[in-house]
Amino acid sequence: MKDTIDTILKQYPVNDRGSLIPMLQGVQKQEGYISKEAVVKISRHLRVSRGTVYGVTTFYSQFKFNPPGRNSIKICLGTACHVQGGDFLLNALQLEIGIKPGETTEDGRFDLERVACLGCCAIAPVMMINKNIHSHMSVIKIRQVLSNYA
Amino acid sequence: MSKARLKNITLTIDGKSVKVAQESTILHAARKAGIYIPTLCFLDGLKNYGGCRLCMVEVKNTHNFQTACTTPVFQGMEVTTKSSGLQNLRREILELILSEHPFTCLVCKDKGECQEFMHTTRKVSVTTGCNFCTSNGDCELQDLVDYLELKEVKFPWIYRNIAPVKDNPFYELDYNLCILCGRCVRVCNEERYSEVLAFVQRGNKTLVGTAFNESQLEAGCEYCGACVDVCPTGSISEKMGSWVGIPDRSTKTTCTFCAVACTMNVNTKGNRIVNIGPKKGERTEPLQLCVRGKFIPGDIVHHPERITMPLIKKADKWIEASWGEAITFIAQNLDKYRGNHFGLIGSAQDSLENSYILQKFTRKTMQSNNVDLLNAFGEKGLVQKIHDHYSVCPPPMIDDITSANTLFVIGSDCSLTHPIIENRIRKAFKQGKQVLAANTLFNRTAYFSNHFIVYQPGEEYHFLLLLLSELLKGKNSKTSKQISKYLKNFDISNLLDQCGVASKDIEKLSNTLQNSENIIIIAGDGVLKTSGSLHNLNALIDIQLLINEQKDCRMMYLFDEGNRYGSSLMGMHPDHFGGFDKVSDPSSVKKWSENWNCKLSSNKGSSGDEMVRNISGDGIKALFVMGDIPPHKNLSGLKFFVQQNMFLTGTSKYADVFLPMSSFMEAEGRIINLEQKLKNIVPAIKPAKGNKPSWKVISEIAHLMSEPGFNYRKAKDILSEIRLFIDFTEVASSDRSTGVQPLGTKAREKTEGYPVSLTIAPDQLHYMGNILTDLVPDLKAISMTPEALQKTETENNG
């Protein structure tokens, strides 16, 4: 893992702040998330403070600080899903698997993310796990749906 | 350099014509003309920011409003800073800012009267209004609300509901009060280069924070306190003096902890130090201090264990005595030990006046030359050598460090011992100057250096010789020939292994030094405090000589204590009188006998360490210690032992009389710093009842011992006497024409009985011998090497 970060960093010039975001994107693409180690390495490569790198990383919602789980859950909170009770779904799901959006369960089974629209408003509220859309979701169905993913 | 050639420009602000240099901003011009423009995010000396938008002004013939802090002036510019439109705009902006800050008290119509009813409710943990805030009365938001006559805020108040951080050793953080002006972030990154604070998240979730929300200490905070000084609200507030109230007096004085001797501003209320920081209204241009200067003086001055009355030991118990009683007791006892049985150990953080009187007392009244400073250097003659060197090659000024092309920092952990020097080094590095550093350990300076060399502990001298021999290559001048003659005594090829450095490191170092125009060598503890420091110094001076043949090279020695140089110059040294007149030289004994109108002993004096070792039998029988010395079992053999200190310490248990001491916050004086500038110590508060400055105490003792020549009424009287006898002009001499001769490097002799028992470890910060981490345990936080730093050390080496 250490080497992958280093190979990505080597592609960018030292001491050039402009490369910060491409570097973060590169790391996230390879590793799936931005580790503490990556932040430290990038900060040293670009000679900016760790705080600055962390600040930029938190500014963009595309960057994640947790390693992805085996299954990634996306809860839609777009207009239609919101009206159909997406919020309740998210709350129930948080209770069920014990994590907040942006986090990964301890056993690495799930990670959770909230999205704005999945483009299938007719079957709202929806939840997407990996590439599968689960339509007309309700709080009662959560446990059963999750049991299909190990 | 080009600044001098900038043209002046004339513009009109509110009908007033102002002349300023080109490239100034409207805000600078307005300040120069004495016109007030409200600001919140502006910080003097840092990059323009333009974040708060309160400094909007109208410029004729431009559309829209311009921010005064970022807009450069041009010839014939016409600026309006006050109009109803502008004030409305500012009010609107302030309302938006206040929607994220508890504003109910700010715009309350009864705010003038509520103070008297709200006394008891102030110390709540959640700040929901001005009356619960530590900055009440010293808040820039309050000032702005008054200035803009804001009566109400039409937006709902958003309370961020963040738990205040209270586990920080020196200050509290309550980000619910933060208005995100960014001053702390900018001062941390652009002025101090501690690089701890940053903006995290975005939009309405934006906060000031650290990477991964670590604690400040984990993130590498050095607690310089710059963020506290600049915060316009109560978001970052000092723990000490939080609830003391609004300061009623400010005193500009000098810090004596280290030889940088920063100017500092002490805010006091009544006889209590509220804080050390900018005066009200000067927050945008704060004086930069370090953790010791900023947070420690108040803590030690108002320390609960401080002794304020003289104590006399009777039957192994301390009994309080009056000053008269104690002084008479001391005078009677010291009378028995005149001559070589008396010794005095002072402190290098004492003022010139105190040092002068202490050694005058020892030499004149006690007829002894046993006078020394605590924690003297590894070699007795070092300060004198530095004095001689400085008289032909004056030291650079602290601000010169930033303008030099190349810095060579050797043996210094200055982020801990001299943070302001470290700050200048960092500034130079960030400006693209070459910074070369060498030390026995990887330290913080390494992050701000182009090349960092680690050598084996104790090998400073050989490391310098390696550099010297590398610099000599290809040189054929007279000096270089002389130096290479000395170097023949060494087997250079073996030294590389001994020092544990690679030859390419030395080559790189030598090349960089030879290829830059303007070089400053900064030598720290590693060079000055180790055994054989005189040799180190000789080698350094030879290096300087060699480089000086073609380039400009200056040397700065980082003395640890504020007045190390000054005290030595005053004669706090067993081997020389004031002005470095040698005791062994009959003519200087004659000179000082005439000066003081008395007979002086020409006996060889003992250093502090020798004094402590010679307590027994016919050696030292009476000892006077100013401040503290590390306790030593020999001290129990003393017949009479006086200690003057702020606290009872481990050494005090051997003492017969204990006198309270006035700190540099309470007594007037002067010190000479490492730039050889004379700096004033102005008392900020009055000492405890009856407490006197040390020179007065000593003078009274001398008086009771029927000794003439101690009739001083003020510290100034002593200074004028010092000026009569010791040539100050010599100190500031800038005559470099005489030149220096190569000093020669000899094989280092083993120094027998190297003084160790009276030395405080260099990483132990102290005031007059009192270890600061013992008095203020919170300081331990910074003297530790942060975990993060240790980790990176292994990574970098691997």
Cα–Cα distances (Å) from B609 to B370, B628, B771, in that order, read: 10, 14, 19
- For residue A36, tell me if it sits in a domain: yes
- Inter-chain touch A51–B197, beta carbons under 8 Å: yes
- Name the residue of chain A whose CA is nearest to B448's CA: A47
| Among A14, A32, A59, residue at a domain's last position | A59
For B219, the closest of A36, A51, A55 (CB atoms) is A51
B387 band by pLDDT with thresholds 50, 70 and 90: confident
Candidates A36, A49, A55; nearest CB to B200? A55
Q: For B581-607, what is the mean pLDDT?
A: 91
pLDDT digits (tens, 9 = 90+) for B92-134: 999 999 999 999 889 988 887 876 766 655 556 678 888 888 8
Q: What is the pLDDT of residues A17-51, one digit of tens each?
A: 899 999 999 999 998 899 999 999 999 899 888 99
Overall average pLDDT of the B766-773 stretch: 88
Residue in chain A closest to B211 (alpha carbons) equals A51
The share of chain B scoring above pLDDT 90, in percent, equals 58
Q: Based on the fold, state whether residues A21 and A54 are members of the same structural domain.
A: yes
- Residue B567: predicted pLDDT: 93
pLDDT digits (tens, 9 = 90+) for B216-237: 888 888 899 999 999 999 999 9
Residues B52-66 have pLDDT tens digits of 999 999 999 998 899
User: What does the pLDDT look like over B681-695, one tens digit per residue?
Assistant: 999 999 988 888 999
- Number of structural domains in chain A: 2
Query: Does residue B745 register a pLDDT over 70?
Result: no
pLDDT digits (tens, 9 = 90+) for B8-40: 999 999 999 999 998 899 999 999 999 999 999
Q: If we measure between CA atoms, which residue out of B107, B95, B213, B207 comes closest to residue B161?
A: B207
Identify the residue among A42, A50, A63 best suited for mutation to test binding to B, counting B beta carbons within 10 A and taking the highest: A50
pLDDT > 70? residue B762: no
**What pLDDT score does B326 carry?**
95
Measure the CA–CA gap between B555 and B513, rounded to whole angstroms: 13
Residue that finishes a domain, picked among A39, A59, A79: A59
Flag whether A65 is in a domain: no
A126: domain CATH number is 3.40.30.10
Same domain, A76 and A128: yes
For residue B623, give how far its alpha carbon lies from the nearest alpha carbon of chain A (Å): 52
Judge whether residue B760 has pLDDT over 90: no
Statement to judge: residues A76 and A137 lie in one domain: yes
How large is the average pLDDT for residues B430-439? 94
Give the whole-angstrom CA distance, residue B505 versus residue B499.
Answer: 12
Is residue B513's pLDDT more than 90? yes
Q: Are residues A103 and A44 in the same domain?
A: no
Question: How would residue B509 be classed by pLDDT, with cut points 50, 70 and 90?
Answer: very high
**Which of these three, A34, A59, A84, is where a domain ends?**
A59
For residue A31, tell me if it sits in a domain: yes
One domain for residues A89 and A128: yes
In the prediction, which pLDDT does B50 show? Answer: 92
Confidence band (pLDDT; 50, 70, 90) for B364?
very high
**Given A36, A52, A59, which is nearest B202 (Cβ)?**
A59
Interface check B794 vs A, CB under 8 A: no
Dist CA B625 CA A3 (whole Å): 60
Q: What is the pLDDT of residue B739?
A: 43
The pLDDT, as a whole number, for residue B738 is 38
What does residue B113 show for φ and ψ, rounded to 5 degrees? -95, -20
Among B196, B197, B201, select the one facing A58 at the smallest CB separation: B201
What mean pLDDT comes out for the span B159-179? 90
Question: Which residue range(s) make up the domain with A107?
Answer: 71-146
The mean pLDDT of B191-202, rounded to a whole number, is 92
Q: Mean pLDDT of all residues in chain B?
A: 87
pLDDT band at B180 (very low <50, low <70, confident <90, very high): very high
Would you state the pLDDT for residue B66? 94
Contact A51 B195 (CB under 8 A): yes
Q: Within a 13 Å sphere around the CA of B356, how many CA atoms are in the beta-carbon half? A: 29
Residue of chain B whose alpha carbon sits nearest to that of A36: B212
Contacts of B199 in chain A (CB under 8 A): 55
Q: Are A28 and A90 contained in the same domain?
A: no
> CB contact, 8 Å: B210 with chain A?
yes
Same domain, A79 and A53: no
ipTM computed for the complex: 0.83
* pLDDT value of position B209: 93
Question: Of the candidates A49, A58, A59, which has its C-beta nearest B195's C-beta?
Answer: A49
B120 CB near a chain A CB, below 8 Å? no
Task: Specify whether A98 is located in the same domain as A136.
Answer: yes
B209 touches chain A (CB under 8 A): yes
Q: Report d(CA B496, CA B447) in Å as an integer.
A: 25
**What's the CA gap between B244 and B222, in Å, rounded?**
25
Asked whether residue A66 is assigned to any structural domain, the reply reads: no
Has residue A50 been placed in a domain? yes
Do A140 and A85 belong together in one domain?
yes
Q: What is the mean pLDDT of residues B749-771?
A: 64
Residue for token digits 């004149």? B364
Residue B797 has pLDDT above 60, yes or no: no
CATH number of the structural domain spanning residue A49: 1.10.10
Q: State which H helix or E strand residue B187 sits in.
A: none
Confidence band of B2 (pLDDT split at 50, 70, 90) = very low
**A49 and A100 co-located in one domain:** no
Whether the per-residue pLDDT at B87 is higher than 70: the answer is yes
A82 and A53 fall within a common domain: no
Tell me the average pLDDT across B573-592.
91
